[in-house]
Structure 1
Amino acid sequence: MAWHPTMTTIRPACPLDAARICAIYNHYVDGTTISFEEAPVSAADMAARIADVIDGGLPWLVLTDGDAIIGYAYATKWRARPAYRHAVESTIYLDAALAGQGHGMRLYASLLDALRTRGLHTVIAGIAQPNARSVRLHERLGFAKVAHFSEVGFKLGMWLDVGYWQMRLTPG
């Protein structure tokens, strides 16, 4: 599937998008270490996740090519305690067949803009290692690596590291 920039749009997600979002996400759940989930997510569970993010006042965006959802990005609270209310964790997934074509940059930039309009101060991204493509995307957008945890996940018969990248959304 080739990218046609004039045909792609970014819009807010809704729970009705859950099945297509699952189709994108479950590819990463089933056969990669990019997601630490170990079982595919159902459309009903994904719809609940989308609703929770939206009900929490945070953005969940989808990138569409015509009527087809080809990627999504969203933010969740970083931690529950009140002092963390200005920090969020970001997530982005693209249809695997479309990676490396500029979609991630455009979608992520829209997510960051949506976070800035909400007055948030910092965004944090956890990236399972190794994942050079995701690291490159985050660093091109202005994220900097701030932490690395060794062997904190176990999936597909191996111990996995997670690195954390952070970006300030507002002057500090």
Structure 2
Amino acid sequence: MSSERTEVQVRPGVESDLEALTDLYNHYVRETAITFDTAAFTPEERRPWLLSHPEDGPYRLKVAAAVDSQEILGYATSSPYRAKPAYATSVEVTVYVAPGAGGRGIGTLLYKALFDALAGEDLHRAYAGIARPNEASTRLHERFGFRYVGTYREVGRKFGRYWDVAWYEKDL
């Protein structure tokens, strides 16, 4: 992993990032309960996800990359909250930081860029679900003005146990 002094660029995600983004996400699929996906993806399986986040509009993908190496250090997305039309002004947001890149402010840089990009969109609220326990994610979301609204108890089963998901919301 790059040194802590690495300069970081936050930019829209592009198709050439697909393999690195898939590898990063698969780490969380295989090693953590942060995502409730249970099987790793191929880049080809993840392509529709990447393409569903264009450079404009309410559904964005922001990537943090090391300026010198272009190594992907994390990403943040805004995605549809639910499929029904009345939910169109709500988004679900998430952030993933590469293993070894935590504690360097990458998540903060990503969310700042994401929320700045969303500021001009016709959006009312952002929602985030945080599988418990995850204090780092809770702190990040609270720093960005998210407030706790409730917990779904034992809503997901992974690694042979049940996990709670705490839900947070933020006015946009």
Give CA deviations for 1:57-110 in whole Å, capped at 9, x if unaligned. Answer: 321110010211111111111112222111000011011201111111111111
Stretch of structure 1 that moved more, 73-82 or 153-162 = 73-82
Is 1:15–1:46's contact at 8 Å kept on the other side of the alignment?
Answer: no
Q: Please list the CA deviations of residues 9-48 of structure 1 after superposition, one character each: whole Å capped at 9, or x if unmatched.
A: 1111112211000111111110111111101111112222
> Quick check: 1:61 aligned with 2:62?
yes
Checking the alignment, whether the CA contact within 8 Å between 1:2 and 1:98 is kept in structure 2 is no
Equivalent in the alignment of 1:120: 123
SS in 2 for 1:117: coil
Contact 2:55 2:61 in 1 (8 A): no
Change (3 A) 1:56 1:77: farther
After TM superposition, the score normalised by the length of structure 2 is 0.92
Q: How do 1:15-54 and structure 2 match up within 5 A?
A: 15-54=15-54
Render the CA deviation track for 1:104-141: whole Å, top value 9, x for unaligned.
Answer: 11111111111112231110001111111100110111
The corresponding residue for 2:105 is: 102
Structure 1 unaligned spans of 5+: none
Give matches, 1:123-134, under 5 Å: 123-134=126-137
Contact 2:93 2:128 in 1 (8 A): yes
Q: CA RMSD in A?
A: 1.5
What residue ranges of structure 2 are gaps of 5+ in the alignment?
none
Q: Percent identity?
A: 36
Aligned partners of 1:143, 1:80: CA distance in 2, in Å? 22
Q: What is the SS of the residue equivalent to 1:100? A: coil
TM-score by length of 1: 0.92
Contact preservation (8 Å) 1:16, 1:47: no
Corresponding position of 2:158:
155
